[in-house]
């Protein structure tokens, strides 16, 4: 099987869906001539033209509102939001309009819209371009939220998102655009709400999202050398969440760490840990441990920024402590 980068995977998935369905179009800042600052969309405007790869002014609320209206009236827009940090600017259009239209119209209207953006620190982009804000939109009923952890997931989840009749937000980790993974040449989709067991294990479960899947896999490699068998699970989508798969693993291993790059407080780690603690309590040998980013603005300086997010070493260390029976608490 060929290997391609996550950036190529997103580009291919969009191109395939635009060829398949002429109602699909892309809109956002610098998506056409520049191909986005990360060059993810390079070449699409040459094939599909400026009528379907649409550059906009720097006016996120405006082009997001345009996309919501376009989705309600028969097209399938893919909105490109240059940085995930800018999602604050489109929250009314996304959360009050797109997320609620189907319900408030009594099922008469759909909003088949995809908002693709990014997350992730340690790129030295400072506090306003380094946040991981997926928990914000996961809190809103009516929105689906996907977090691809590799080129394979980026392809399958993007194609599923575009064909969904509900608004979907996809967060890609900006540090992973050049990471390669095997991706089939034949078409495939990844259903929402189906977690992927990346690695089977028997002693402890490591649940990671987005780039934290790789962190968990690296931690599992460290632990394996010490005789600790770690199971690694990628939920793929946090809305819908494959609760059944997470509970099954928790009941098997009896110890769980949830790892996410969003801020620790009130985030994804707390939601997943809460569900496992509620529904698998009598199978656990220790409380579920949460590991998220520090509750601070992301620093610019590398010496401080690198300390704010979980690493394979810190995940492995907490796993050792859980295995030893030590009572530890989220920082």
Total-model pTM:
0.95
Average pLDDT over residues 177-196: 97
Return the beta strands (E) in 101-215 as ranges: 114-119, 144-146, 168-173, 180-182, 196-199, 204-208
Going by pLDDT thresholds of 50, 70 and 90, the confidence category of residue 329 is low
Q: How sure is the predictor about 327, in pLDDT bands with cuts at 50, 70 and 90? A: low
Marked catalytic residue, from 29, 60, 261, 305: 60
> Is 60 designated active site?
yes
Which of the residues 17, 29, 129, 134 is marked catalytic?
A: 129
| Per-residue pLDDT tens digits for 205-248 | 999 999 999 999 999 999 999 999 999 999 999 999 999 999 99
Known catalytic residue at 226: no
Distance in angstroms (rounded) separating the CA atoms of residues 258 and 269:
6
């Amino acid at each position: 099987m060929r290997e391609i980068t996550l950036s190529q995977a997103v580009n291919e998935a969009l191109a395939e869906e635009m060829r398949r369905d002429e109602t699909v179009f892309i809109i956002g800042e610098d998506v056409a001539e520049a191909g986005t600052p990360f060059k993810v969309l390079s070449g699409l405007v040459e094939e599909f033209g400026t009528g379907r790869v649409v550059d906009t002014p720097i006016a996120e609320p405006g082009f997001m509102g345009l996309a919501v209206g376009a989705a309600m009236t028969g097209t399938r827009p893919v909105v490109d939001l240059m940085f995930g940090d800018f999602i604050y600017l489109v929250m009314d259009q996304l959360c009050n309009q797109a997320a609620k239209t189907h319900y408030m119209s009594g099922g008469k209207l759909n909003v088949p819209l995809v908002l693709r953006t990014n997350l992730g620190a340690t790129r030295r982009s400072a506090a306003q371009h380094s946040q991981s804000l997926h928990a914000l939109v996961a809190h809103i009923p009516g929105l689906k939220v996907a977090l691809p952890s590799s080129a394979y997931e980026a392809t399958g989840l993007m194609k599923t998102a575009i064909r969904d009749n509900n608004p979907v937000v996809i967060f890609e980790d900006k540090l992973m655009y050049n990471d390669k993974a095997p991706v089939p040449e034949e078409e495939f989709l990844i259903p929402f709400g189906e977690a992927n067991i990346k690695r089977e294990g028997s002693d402890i479960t490591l649940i990671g999202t987005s780039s934290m899947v790789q962190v968990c896999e690296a931690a599992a490699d460290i632990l394996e050398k010490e005789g600790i068998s770690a199971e690694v699970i990628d939920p793929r989508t946090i809305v819908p969440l494959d609760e059944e798969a997470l509970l099954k693993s928790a009941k098997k291993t009896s110890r769980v760490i949830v790892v996410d790059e969003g801020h620790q407080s009130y985030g994804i780690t707390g939601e997943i840990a809460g569900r496992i603690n509620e529904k698998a309590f009598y199978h656990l040998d220790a409380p579920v441990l949460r590991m998220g980013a520090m509750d601070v603005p992301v620093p610019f300086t590398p010496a401080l920024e690198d300390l704010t997010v979980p690493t394979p070493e810190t995940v492995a260390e907490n796993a050792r402590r859980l295995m030893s029976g030590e009572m530890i608490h989220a920082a």
